[in-house]
Amino acid sequence: MNAAVLADDDAAADAPVPDRAAGEFGMWIFIASEMLFFGALLLTYAWGRVYFPEGFAAAGRHTDVLLGTVNTAVLLTSSLLVAVAAAAASARRPGLAGALLAGTALLGIVFLGIKAIEYHHEWQQALFPGPAFRLDGAAAVPAGAQLFFVFYFVATGLHALHVAGGIGLMATTAWGQWREAPEATPERVHLAGLYWHFVDVVWVLLYPLLYLVGRNG
């Protein structure tokens, strides 16, 4: 009887493993598809950087490096919170995991708020591509400068949409941890964390291209 019970317990413990593996595999497939999408944008940037080096450098000097750097720190901090939340969930501490995930969502909101301020400044400075586009201090707009800002707004806008989606994911995952819902497993926290880390990696790739180009000399 005891042997049978132990066998049943072992089978129950092993049963979720395929589901966890399938969930993680699905998330990696999603992330890979998104990386291909952002990779196409990066190739567009590389083409413009090669053919319009002066225009890209001149335009890059007009991005707000201070706000961009602050936002980079905000996202890196949020990634740390997610990593600790995953460890807390694995240690069966749902209250702590939920608080950390809520903190991640809050930092995501801070990121979007700073980005909105940055967009407002760029609107005031006529940096949106179009007939009124100009670069302060430049006698003429160099070729490729507007293309840089096309890339800038497309890439950061799409990234902001992913951050917004991540905020919703973090908030719902946090709520599940607080409620200790049956579906609020450590694996769910892990999968949510994978998505958030992907969002952060994309920003880490964009940051030097958008904010540091043209400032090295």
Residue 169: which CATH number? Answer: 1.20.120.80
Q: Is residue 16 part of a domain?
A: no
Closest by alpha carbon to 114, among 78, 60, 150? Answer: 78
Q: Is residue 11 part of a domain?
A: no
Q: Which helix (H) or strand (E) holds 175?
A: helix 145-179
Q: Is residue 217 part of a domain?
A: no
Q: Is residue 107 part of a domain?
A: yes
**Side chain identity at residue 183, one-letter code:** E
Q: Is residue 95 part of a domain?
A: yes
Q: Is residue 53 part of a domain?
A: yes
Q: Is residue 54 part of a domain?
A: yes
Contacts of 146 (CB under 8 A, 6+ apart): 55, 59, 129, 133
Q: Is residue 119 part of a domain?
A: yes
Structural domain span for residue 93: 24-212
- Sign, CA torsion 111/112/116/119: positive
pTM (two decimals): 0.85
**Cβ-contact 107, 77 below 8 angstroms:** yes
Tens place of pLDDT per residue across the chain (217 aa): 444 444 444 444 444 444 566 666 677 787 777 888 788 888 999 999 999 989 999 999 999 999 999 999 999 999 999 999 999 988 899 889 999 999 999 999 999 999 999 999 999 999 999 888 888 876 688 888 999 999 999 999 999 999 999 999 999 999 988 887 777 688 888 889 999 999 999 999 999 999 998 776 5
In the chain, how many domains are there? Answer: 1
